[in-house]
């Protein structure tokens, strides 16, 4: 009896077919895992940036709502973030035309984190 005529030998996959299927599956798993790692890294960077923006907004809002404003430089830390707030008199344009009882201050804040991450903002405050 010939091997080709034996129906039991015709069923199933050959070793070469199984190895090819495993190689394709391994390539797909590697590709998906590197994409997932890149997504996690991007999400982590976005989370740090959004946290820094919240700290930045909080620092500026606290100073804007404070009653007494004077030129100063303040620094501090909030969790993984390092922040700096510089308050200086604004001398450009409209500041010269204000009544003597009013002053305009420039509030410049910056927040940094990790290796090279940073965010900054600047606002003007009218004070008596």
Residue identified by tokens 């501090």 is: 76
Task: Answer yes or no: are the C-beta atoms of 108 and 122 closer than 8 Å.
Answer: yes
- Block means of pLDDT (10 residues each) for the chain, 128 residues, are 57 89 93 86 91 95 90 94 94 70 91 90 89
Q: CA angle at residue 127 from 82 to 119, to 5 degrees?
A: 25
What's residue 7's pLDDT? Answer: 57
What's residue 94's pLDDT? Answer: 65
What's residue 64's pLDDT? Answer: 92
- Domain spans, the chain: 14-127
What CATH code would you report for 14-127?
2.20.130.10
What's residue 121's pLDDT? Answer: 94
């Amino acid at each position: 009896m010939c091997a080709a005529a034996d129906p039991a030998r015709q069923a199933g996959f050959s070793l070469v077919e199984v190895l090819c299927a495993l190689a394709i599956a391994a390539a797909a798993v590697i590709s998906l895992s590197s994409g997932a790692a890149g997504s996690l890294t991007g999400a982590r960077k976005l989370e740090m940036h959004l946290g820094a923006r919240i700290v930045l907004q909080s620092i500026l809002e606290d100073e804007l709502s404070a009653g007494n404003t004077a030129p100063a430089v303040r620094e501090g830390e909030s969790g993984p973030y390092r922040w700096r707030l510089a308050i200086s008199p604004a001398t450009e344009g409209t500041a010269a035309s204000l009544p003597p009882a009013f002053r305009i201050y420039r509030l410049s804040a910056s927040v940094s984190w990790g290796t090279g991450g940073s965010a900054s903002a600047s606002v003007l405050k009218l004070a008596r």
